[in-house]
Amino acid sequence: MGRKSTRSNYKKPRSYNKDANKKYFTKDDIFISRMASILMLPKAKVSSLFYQRARTTIRLNSLKGNVKETLRLLKSRGYELESIPWAPNVYFINNRDKSEISQIEEYREGLFYIQDLSSILATLVLNPTKDENILDMCAAPGSKTTHMAEITKNRANILANEIEVGRTNSLRNVIEQFGASSVKITLSDGRDFGKKYPDYFDKVLLDAPCSGEGRIYLRGPKPLRFWSIKKVKSSTMIQKELIDSAFKTLKSKGTLIYSTCTLEPEENEGVVSYLLNRNPLAYLEDIELISQPQFASFKKHISTGITQWSGNKYHSSVKKSVRVIPSSDMMGFYIAKISKK
* 19 among annotated binding-site residues: no
Q: Is position 84 within any domain?
A: no
Q: How buried is 25 (Cβ within 10 angstroms: 0-12 exposed, 13-18 middle, 19+ buried)?
A: exposed
* 210 among annotated binding-site residues: no
- Supply the pTM of this predicted model: 0.92
Q: How buried is 78 (Cβ within 10 angstroms: 0-12 exposed, 13-18 middle, 19+ buried)?
A: exposed
pLDDT of residue 295: 97
pLDDT of residue 25: 78
Q: Is position 60 within any domain?
A: no
Give me the amino acid identity at 275: L
List the catalytic residue out of 160, 180, 261, 272.
Answer: 261
Query: Smallest Cα–Cα separation from 247: which of 222, 218, 282, 278?
Result: 282
Over residues 123-147, the pLDDT tens digits come to 999 999 999 999 999 999 999 999 9
Q: Is position 311 within any domain?
A: yes
Please identify every stretch of the chain with a pLDDT value under 50, giving residue numbers as ranges.
Answer: 1-7, 10, 16, 20
pLDDT of residue 220: 80
* 261 catalytic per annotation: yes
Query: What total number of domains does the chain contain?
Result: 1
* 202 among annotated binding-site residues: no
pLDDT of residue 153: 98
Q: What is the CATH number of the domain that holds 253?
A: 3.40.50.150
Q: Is position 48 within any domain?
A: no
Domain residues for the domain of 263 are 117-340
**Alpha carbon of 88 to those of 215, 307, 327, 333: distances in Å?**
24, 33, 21, 20
* 189 among annotated binding-site residues: yes
| Neighbouring residues of 335: CB distance < 8 A, sequence distance ≥ 6 | 121, 122, 125, 257, 258, 259, 287, 321, 322, 324
Q: Is position 139 within any domain?
A: yes
* 273 among annotated binding-site residues: no
SS3 sequence of the chain: CCCCCCCCCCCCCCCCCCCCCCCCCCHHHHHHHHHHHHHCCCHHHHHHHCCCCCCEEEEECCCCCCHHHHHHHHHHCCCCEEECCCCCCEEEECCCCHHHHCCCHHHHCCCEEECCHHHHHHHHHHCCCCCCEEEECCCCCCHHHHHHHHHCCCCCEEEEEECCHHHHHHHHHHHHHCCCCCEEEEECCHHHHHHHCCCCEEEEEEECCCCCHHHCCCCCCCCCCCCCHHHHHHHHHHHHHHHHHHHHCEEEEEEEEEEECCCCCCCCHHHHHHHHHHCCCEEECCCHHHHCHHHHHHHHHEEECCCEECCEECCHHHHHCEEECCCCCCCCEEEEEEEEC
Q: Is position 167 within any domain?
A: yes
Whether 183 and 145 have beta carbons less than 8 Å apart is answered as: yes
Q: Is position 206 within any domain?
A: yes
* 136 among annotated binding-site residues: no
**Alpha carbon of 318 to those of 5, 122, 281: distances in Å?**
80, 16, 15
Q: Is position 122 within any domain?
A: yes
